[in-house]
Structure 1
Amino acid sequence: MRLRKRFRMTGAALACALAGVLALGGCSLLGDDSGGSSETGGAGAPRSSASPQDIPYDVTPLIKPAKKYYGAAVPGAPISMKNIDVYTSRTGKQPNLIEYYAAWGDGFDATGVRNAWAEGALTLMSWEPFDTSLADIAAGRSDAYIKEYATAVRKLNLPVVMDFADEFNGHWEKWGTKHATPAQYVAAWRHIHQTFVDVGATNVIWAWAPNIVNPVKNVRLKPYYPGDAYVDWIGLVGYFTIGQDNAFDSVFGPTRDEIRTFTKKPMLLLETAAMPGERRRADVRNLFAGVAADDDMLGFIWFDYKKRADWRLEASPLALEEFKRLAADDRFGFDVRKPS
C-alpha cells in the first residue's frame, strides 16, 4: 500500500536527457528468459563487424546475475549522484541499482543513466501515468511520446530497467483498481513494450511490479500479468510496517506464492523499507536474510526518503549499523558493467 508520495522529475532536469540516448531490452517475444539479441555476446559485446552503437546492449547477464542487487532510491539520484555517495558512506557499500520516478510526459533521463552507469550501477525508472488513462495509452493516443522516449533509450544504448504503472492492484493509484481494468492495464503494457521493440530499443529489462497483496487480498494478480513474453522481472513493492507480523514470509510470502502459480520469472523487492523505531533493526535482519535465502530473489531497493514516514536509514542509528553489517556480505552488490 502506498506509504510514500510520488515525485516528478522536472522537465528542466530532464530536458537535456532527450539529447542523450539509451538502449534496453530483455523480454523475449517468444516468452523465454534469454532476453538479449542473438547477435551479441556477454554484456553487450558485439560478435559482428557492426559498431557497438548499432547493436542493442545485451542485458541477458543482468537479468539473473550470480550476486544480488543492492539497490537504493534516494532524493536527486541519478541525475545527481551526491546522495548516492552519502548513502554509500553510511552503509559501507555503493548501490548498484538506483531507482527514480518519472511522470508520464517526462523526457528520458539519459544523463542520469550515464551517471549511474559510470559508477557501476543500473538505473530503474518507475514510469507513472498520472495524467493519462491506461485505455488511452493502449489505444495509441500517446504513441508519439512513447516512440520518442523509446528512440532516446535506443540511442544511448545502455541497459536500464523499466517499471510501468506499479502498484496497479491498489485502489490508491490513478491507474489502480478504481480507474482501470486488468485488460486495460495489460493492453497498455503490451502496447508500450511493442513500441520499444519496433524502434529497436531491446535493451530494457521490464519489471512488472504489483504491491504486496496483504492490504488488497481480494484483488487477483494473474489477470494483470502481461505474459512472460513481455516481462523480465517481478518487482514487489512492500514495506515492513508497525502492526503486522514482520517475518519476511509474512510480508512478501503471500504475494510471492500467488505469483508463482502463473510465472517463474525472477523477483526483486523493487521498493521496500521499514518504519523507524525499535523494531527496525529486526526488520533489517529479516530483509537481508529473506533475500539471501531465495535463489530466485534478485535483491532489493531500499526507499531512503522521508515521505509520510521516515524511511531513511539514518532515522534509526542502531538499525543503520545492522544494515551496514549485513550489507558487507559479498553476496550483495556487484559492478553491473561486469556482471559475471
Structure 2
Amino acid sequence: MTASPGVIDDVPKASESPLPPATLGGDSKGSVEQIALLLFITVPFVALLAAIPLVWGWGVSWLDLGLLVAMYYIGCHGITIGFHRYFTHGSFKAKRPLRIALAIAGSLAVEGPLVRWVADHRKHHKFSDAEGDPHSPWRYGESLSALMKGLWWAHIGWMFNEEQTSQQKYAPDLIKDPALRRISRQFVLWTVISLGLPPLIGGLVTWSWQGALTAFFWGSLVRVALLHHVTWSINSICHAVGKRPFKSRDRSGNVWWLAILSCGESWHNLHHADPTSARHGVMKGQLDSSARIIRWFEKAGWAYDVRWPSTNRIDARRQDTTTASADRVKDAAGAA
C-alpha cells in the first residue's frame, strides 16, 4: 500500500549508517515502560473521577482552574500544531526557535516522546482503518460487540501492545535532527516539568503547601487525564461516528462537540481527506484554534509556506462535488 499524502515513508539505505534511537526504549516497550504507562493512565484518570465530587463539595479556586486551562491548552496546541500538523504532516514550515518550542510544548502534554508519536501517526495514516493501522476501532469487525472491543483498543488498548512502528522508517527526518532527537529522548524530563510546574506556581502564589497540593491535583493530574482522553477520542470516537462530508478512504468523521477541547482536531474527516491542510475546520462555524494560532505564527514571520486550503481544494474533496457551494466554505487563507 502506498503512503497517503503528507506521510513520510523513507527507509534509510543499507549503505547509510543507522540513525541513533530517538527514544530511550527504541521501537519496543519493556516491562518498566509498560508499568509507567499504566500509572500515567490510571493515576490521572482516578484524579479526574475524584474531581467531580470535589468540585461539587468544595469547588475549585480560580488559581487552580487557571493553571488547569493554561497547561491544558499549551500541551494541546503543542500536540495539534506541533506533533501533528507540523512534525507529522508538514502543514507549514517553521523557523528554528518555533520548531524547538513546538517540540517542547507537545512533550508537555505527556503523550509520549516526539519521534514515537510522529512515527505512530504516520503509520496510522498509511493504513488508516485497514490492516496495519496501530489504532483503528474497526480492528475486530463491524458487529456491535466487535466495535465496542475496537473502541477500547483504539482509545487505550493499543498503547499496551508491543511497539511495532519503526521509528527509523516512519520518522527518519526527525531522528536526523540532533535537537529534536534530544528533546524526544528527554521525555521523562519534560514530564517532570509538566507535572511540577502547576504545584510550583500554586505553592509560590499562595505561599502554602495546600496551594501546591491543589494545584498539582487540578493543574497536573486532572489536566493530563482530560487531555489524554480528548486526544485518544480522536483515535476512537472520530473513527467510529461523525459526519463525513469529504471523500476519504477510511471512516474518519467530524465530531463537533470535541472541537474546542481538541483544538480543532475533531474535524477529522477533512483531515483524512486532505492530511497536509493546516486547517481542519474548514466549513462555516467549525472552530479550529490550532489553525488560528498557525495564522498568528505566519503573520509574525515564524511560520511560512503554510498549506491553507482554498475553496476549490475543499470542493474537490466533497462527497458530492456537484452540490458544493462556495458560500458554505471559509477560505482558510483569509479566515484563519
Q: If the length of structure 1 is used for normalisation, what is the TM-score?
A: 0.31
Radius of gyration: which is bigger? 2
TM normalised by structure 2 equals 0.32
Normalized per residue, the structure richer in helix is 2
